[in-house]
Structure 1
Amino acid sequence: MKRNILIHPDPRLKKLCEPVADLSDELRALADDMLETMYDAPGIGLAAPQVGVMQRLIVLDCVKGESEAPRPLVMFNPRLLASSDETNTYEEGCLSIPDQYAEVTRPKVVDVEWIDRDGKVKTETFDGLWATCVQHEIDHLDGKLFIDYLKPLKRQMITRKMVKLKKELAREKV
């Protein structure tokens, strides 16, 4: 089931998420809903707080090529174990900040640990776009948005655009 994506500024997007204590069928269904929502948007990552659920759950799939098989990842309680000194700069966007993009510099390579949908602890090293995406989504779980990396003026400009967009969307619903 497709979920509604919260638009910045929404106070839930700035809150710290609770760890997932126990995997339930309800949480697995949420992960499936989030993947469906992410693919439909379309996006390459989505965090639970973006759909109003304050739990440490992210989904991502950075496979872009039509010829490549999708690689959907579901991560409960993801955490960074290590990150490289070498950095990458990508133009980031966010489904909660539609049509706004900015360059953000992050570690190029990260080691991440998480619990998969079967309750198994996994660790993997991510590089390039995958590393950027997983860091972006984990930031959501800590109440941090990609615009928080920007200079205040640029961040305020984007926030004003989002306030205007939210007003327009609210008018359309009436």
Structure 2
Amino acid sequence: MKLPIVAYGDPVLKKVCVDIDETYPDLQELIKNMFDTMYHASGVGLAAPQVGLPIRLFIVDTKGDEDEEAYVKVFINAQILEETGEPWAFNEGCLSIPEVREDVMRKPNILISYYDENWVKHEEKVSGFSARVIQHEYDHIEGKLFTDKLSLLRRQLLKSKLDNISKGNVRTDYKMRFPKQSKKR
């Protein structure tokens, strides 16, 4: 089932998310629905806050490119332990902030600890594009958006566009929930 994606401005996107355990209700169904939602929206990652849930869960599928193999994973209660390397800029977007893309600086290598969907604990080094996607999704469970990493000037220049997104004045090919949308539509 495809879930509505929460748009910029919803308070859930700014919450530091809470850990979950094996008893979290319908977790496997939620994970499946998140993958369905992400694929339908042509995303490479999706975090639980983006579907309205303030829990430490995110998924990635980088689909692979000419330099890397496809990287498909579920991350539960993740903690980034280390970020290393020379920061590099990459033009990022976000399913919760459609039609906005900006260059964001991130380090190319991470060490991350997490549980997978079968509650197996992992500690893994990840590099390149997959590391960037993980950092972006990890920011979501920490209550941060990629726009928070932009300069104050850049955020000011994007303010009206971001306000329009929160009001629902944006077109997407996927279902969204807008925090400031007028009920008269």
The TM-score with structure 1 as length reference comes to 0.90
CA distance in 2, matches of 1:30, 1:88: 33
CA distance in 2, matches of 1:112, 1:33: 24
Q: Counterpart in 1 of 2:35?
A: 35
Change (3 A) 1:4 1:167: closer
The TM-score with structure 2 as length reference comes to 0.85
CA distance in 2, matches of 1:173, 1:92: 33
Question: How many residues matched?
Answer: 173
Query: What is the SS of the residue equivalent to 2:5?
Result: coil
Q: Counterpart in 2 of 1:18?
A: 18
RMSD: 2.2
Q: Counterpart in 2 of 1:168?
A: 169
Moved over 6 A (4+): none
Question: Tell me, which stretches of 5 or more residues in structure 1 are unaligned?
Answer: none
Query: What is the SS of the residue equivalent to 1:21?
Result: coil
Written as runs of structure 1 = structure 2, the 5 A alignment for 1:58-137 is 58-65=58-65, 71-137=71-137
Structure number with the bigger relative contact order (C-alpha 8 A, sep ≥ 6) is: 2
Change (3 A) 1:124 1:163: same
Change (3 A) 1:29 1:55: same
CA distance in 1, matches of 2:118, 2:23: 8
Cα deviation code 1:12-63 (max 9, x no counterpart): 1111101113354611211111111111101101100000001000000112
| Distance apart, 1:172 and its partner CA | 9.8
* Equivalent pair of 1:58/1:138 in contact (CA under 8 Å): yes
